[in-house]
Structure 1
């Protein structure tokens, strides 16, 4: 099976060109705190400030993202914000200077767009931050940019391809470039609702997924969280027929509006699979502790090899 650091260049239409383009990414000395995923430690001992950390991530996006189409837009003010945080005196906030990417569904009151990946919303710049964006800024995070997504969060059609949007193109799986970035989209029948029908359906969803769903299971079995596979191995990208659905666990938490955290759990057929920790309302601290403990105990994540497409599964 052929392996390559960068074997093809994605074109705007989503196809893969002949093997050429940027060289395989190699971590440079100054990138090491980022590449080895220890920016907090490097920042704490003075080896890395907010501006340098932000610049390292922006540099990596510039070099790797033309292959993956994972970032739909970079915040033009990210470095300026990092400098401002770096010059700040006094007690540091919990996420001081930490760069974060937000999905292109999260509204931000800055020079970035918020479009759900759709050309119909191109140019939309909200007047106020969404709650999650505002809370991240208050905690000291640097909003680095917006990530690509399944357009309208997969609401385009029943055969929508995961990770494709008109604005961002097709996101590719870094472990194998002809694969979807995930296989977690779950098929939901499309219905036309008026406001009254929508509110009734929403109330039913909340009742079934909360009091009679997640909360009931946690209470009956005296559990802190539910643990389940995130999805099957990612399917091959098929822009005609859409995703080959391999199952997923996101629906209960999504319907309830409850938190869920997915972490690497290993590999199947050389493709990454995940494990999801799901809980009740406001259980994020518990879920993060559990997910972190699992990650530290298993250490299953491997750096992506950017494998070329091949024949077979």
Structure 2
């Protein structure tokens, strides 16, 4: 993380201290939901500058052990002052006026480099905002900085460790510093849990929003592919990539998603989105209820820890008590060759998409890079880039034959059939249910750079490969570590998922926030 100079840190701390003293005893700003902060900002009870300074101070003071924030935006306080001046001059506040937001460092912003955690892109300062970021700015958000991530969004090599990048080091879980934050949106998940921003944006190809949200006790939304623009985001897969928010609760995540979505002529997938307004998503929060909903309870989707299964059974009971009709023992089996096909799709799409992204970079030196050049760069800097795991995904992707090849097109058709018509769509129709649920994942495992990740189960694949949405909210704690409950259904079913997940979140009550225990659990 790039820390502020000591004199600036002291100044920020002094400003925060004076503001808090003037305001008297209250819930700390980093524990308040967005709607409460927004009301105070619009009512000019607090300033965007003071709120931004508060979060900058927390990051400067507390992030050294977590390593969740890769770099702070040097213009953050200037952005906040401009918003205060806009409001003081009679300007209309946006729906996110003055709300600080962190971004995963594969999302371009005009004020900072976008590295994907790789030394090869450490100088990738494009001077442009991704359309997603432009929408957040237009809504009044303050871009606070960039979060660390699993390098290349965890699509470089086997035996990788989630949350590790050559540029940012190892991000840790604030519930237990010896454990993983999951990934690849590791820093985004850990930073929100630690109270470094009300919300952070992650990206997902398969599990990279859902898993870190679950492992860090956050709510997260993986939108339908095409609801949010992917332009100027370092890609993996055009059929699966999407960006989405993580926050302390689903209401905050929904408010940010509502401000993020929109059509982008440069991203063809966004042209197929429904004609939603922000109000349509926000109405799902107001209508949060499980009454009348038929919910399919997925079993056997993954091999979860027994205590996760027990927490899942308790969650199902809570859903039933809150008025949902439960259809239990819903199962989905993958056809032979499914996992090989999903990998084939990712390898082909990654090479095509990454080379196109690199070729579009404004920096003429960087724009001459391609996947083959990145492989060579990593070999030349192996002591920094490859100390713990390799680049097998890179090397296999470089050998692919393109997205017009029969091998790719047939694999894509098979995985879409398995997850769509023969998968989620079939289950919804066959069981006459509105949505499906499953544990989001197991409790966070110990960080192990030598052996890499050892997941304790997950349920992200059906929604990820189909391109359909998924919502995760905290389900409870297993041995002091958070685990999430995932809600998923058909394409553009976000309003239904948000309605149900928010109702469960309110029924369940708050889950304990982390204390960042250095010693950890055995």
Structure 2 match to 1:153: 153
Distance 1:134 1:256 in 2: 27
Distance 1:194 1:282 in 2: 32
Structure 1 match to 2:105: 104
Render the CA deviation track for 1:95-128: whole Å, top value 9, x for unaligned. 22211111112222x1212111111111112354
- Rg larger for: 2
Distance 1:65 1:275 in 2: 28
Structure 2 match to 1:299: 509
CA contact (8 A) 2:476 2:484 kept: yes
Distance 1:285 1:131 in 2: 23
Distance 2:409 2:77 in 1: 43
Render the CA deviation track for 1:248-306: whole Å, top value 9, x for unaligned. 12222222333322222111121111112223333334333333322222124212121
TM-score (normalizing by structure 1): 0.81
Render the CA deviation track for 1:184-228: whole Å, top value 9, x for unaligned. 679975553221244554444334333333333334444443322
2:339 aligned with 1:132: no
Structure 2 match to 1:64: 62
Structure 1 match to 2:83: 85
Q: 1:310 to 1:298 in 2, by over 3 A?
A: closer
Shift of 1:311: 6.5
What residue ranges of structure 2 are gaps of 5+ in the alignment? Answer: 2-15, 21-25, 184-206, 212-338, 344-392
Structure 1 runs of 4+ off > 4 angstroms?
183-191
CA contact (8 A) 1:262 1:274 kept: yes
Shift of 1:39: 4.5
Distance 1:107 1:280 in 2: 30
Structure 2 match to 1:250: 460
Distance 2:433 2:127 in 1: 41
What is the aligned residue count?
A: 286
CA contact (8 A) 2:476 2:483 kept: yes
Distance 1:311 1:36 in 2: 25
2:33 counterpart (29, 38, 43): 38
What residue ranges of structure 1 are gaps of 5+ in the alignment? Answer: 1-9, 11-26
Q: 1:258 to 1:311 in 2, by over 3 A?
A: closer
Distance 2:413 2:131 in 1: 22
TM-score (normalizing by structure 2): 0.50
2:204 aligned with 1:206: no
Render the CA deviation track for 1:224-261: whole Å, top value 9, x for unaligned. 43322111011000000001121112222222333322
Structure 2 match to 1:283: 493
CA contact (8 A) 1:71 1:148 kept: yes
2:425 aligned with 1:215: yes
The residue matched to 1:262 in structure 2 has which SS? strand
Q: Which deviates the most, 167-176 or 276-285?
A: 276-285
Q: How does 1:19-30 map onto structure 2 within 5 Å?
A: 30=20
Structure 2 match to 1:18: none
